[in-house]
Amino acid sequence: MKKQRGFTLVEIAIVLVIIGLLLGGVLKGQELINSAKVKNFVNDFRTIPVFIYGYQDKFRALPGDDRQAAAHLGSAATAAGVTLLDPSSQSSNTTGNGRIEGQYNSISASDESVAFWQHVRLANLASGSSDFTAPKDVLPTNADGGRLGVQSSAPITGMSGSYFICSEGIQGKFAKQIDITMDDGNTATGTVRVATGPYSGTALTAVATTGTSGIVDSNTYIVCAGF
């Protein structure tokens, strides 16, 4: 009868080492992916102010709120649907009041928060289509596919600033890392705050980093930054 030969301790040890190395590589790879994603989110928050300041420096106006958008950018700028002010009827709407009216997540062509993206693209400050016939198809999203935008009204209670950038659909573990990178590490205080959506125009309540009702790593949130 043929005798079966088992594995030696050395062979088993080698297999375990190989498995450990493979698991370590997978975990390290995931860590690098997560780190890159957080950098992507943070870059969105830091880039939008550059668009605003670049546009103001070039045209002495606020993108999305520019009453002379057609003159500055060409007739295509009216495609966003924002009524451009006539000097004789300046009080008839909010265009030119120094604020970006509308919600950051709007898909309405008549909102300045939507026109903002068309204006910075026509000004060659941002990449993307400037054809806003169907805004929903061309508005920007973050690394996880959530809406990204800017508005002048505080989206989360207690926030201060002239403009607020919001990015939605961000997992809790990334939201906490964004706050650590950009602010004070507390998602309920400072210039960066986190809230549970959806946002519909009424200021939301910030969610604390920890605690029984704190951030849950696997849940998704809205992250907003004021500047």
63-85 pLDDT tens trace = 999 999 999 999 888 766 665 55
**Burial class, 125, CB count within 10 angstroms (exposed 0-12 / middle 13-18 / buried 19+):** middle
Q: For residues 118 and 209, state if they share a domain.
A: no
Q: According to the model, what pLDDT value does residue 145 have?
A: 95
Exposed / middle / buried, residue 26 (Cβ in 10 Å: 0-12, 13-18, 19+): exposed
pLDDT at 90: 43
Note whether residue 60 is domain-resident.
yes
pLDDT top residue among 177 and 211 = 177
Instruction: Choose one of 126, 146, 166: the last residue of a domain.
Output: 146
How many angstroms separate the CA atoms of 59 and 73, rounded? 10
Query: Does 197 map to a domain?
Result: yes
- CB contact at 8 A, 51 and 122: no
Same domain? For 124 and 53 the reply is yes
Q: How many CB atoms lie within 10 A of CB 174?
A: 23
User: Has residue 210 been placed in a domain?
Assistant: yes
Which of the listed residues 115, 146, 177 is the one where a domain comes to its end?
146
Domain end residue (candidates: 83, 115, 146): 146
Residue 86 has pLDDT above 60, yes or no: no
- Within-domain flag for 14: no
Provide the token pair at 66: 């520019």
pTM equals: 0.82
Same domain, 173 and 135: no
The reply to whether 125 and 158 lie within a common domain is no
User: Does pLDDT of 103 surpass 50?
Assistant: yes
Structural domain span for residue 81? 44-146
Contact 38, 178 (CB under 8 A): yes
CA distance 70 to 80: 11
Per-residue pLDDT at 91: 45
88 has a pLDDT exceeding 90: no
pLDDT tens, residue by residue, 139-183: 999 999 999 999 999 999 999 999 999 999 999 999 999 999 999
Q: Distance (Å, rounded) from C-alpha 103 to C-alpha 163?
A: 12
Q: Same domain, yes or no, for 95 and 165?
A: no
Q: Could you tell me if residue 84 is inside a domain?
A: yes
Give the rounded percent of residues in the chain with a pLDDT score beyond 90: 71
Q: Is residue 34 part of a domain?
A: no
Best CA proximity match to 120, nearest among 145, 133, 146, 138 = 138
For residue 4, the model assigns a pLDDT of 58
Could you give the CA distance from residue 108 to residue 112 in angstroms, rounded to a whole number? Answer: 9
Residues 6+ apart with CB under 8 A from 84: 67, 68, 69, 70, 78, 95
Residue of 14 and 30 predicted with greater confidence:
14
Q: Is the pLDDT of residue 201 over 70?
A: yes
83 and 171 inside one domain: no
Q: What is the mean pLDDT of the chain?
A: 88
pLDDT above 70 covers a percentage of the chain that reads 85
Q: Residue 28: is its pLDDT beyond 60?
A: no
* Residue 142 within a domain: yes
DSSP 111: S
Residue 20 has pLDDT above 80, yes or no: no
Specify the higher pLDDT residue, 81 or 220.
220
Three-point CA angle 208, 170, 218, nearest 5° = 70
Domain count, the chain: 2
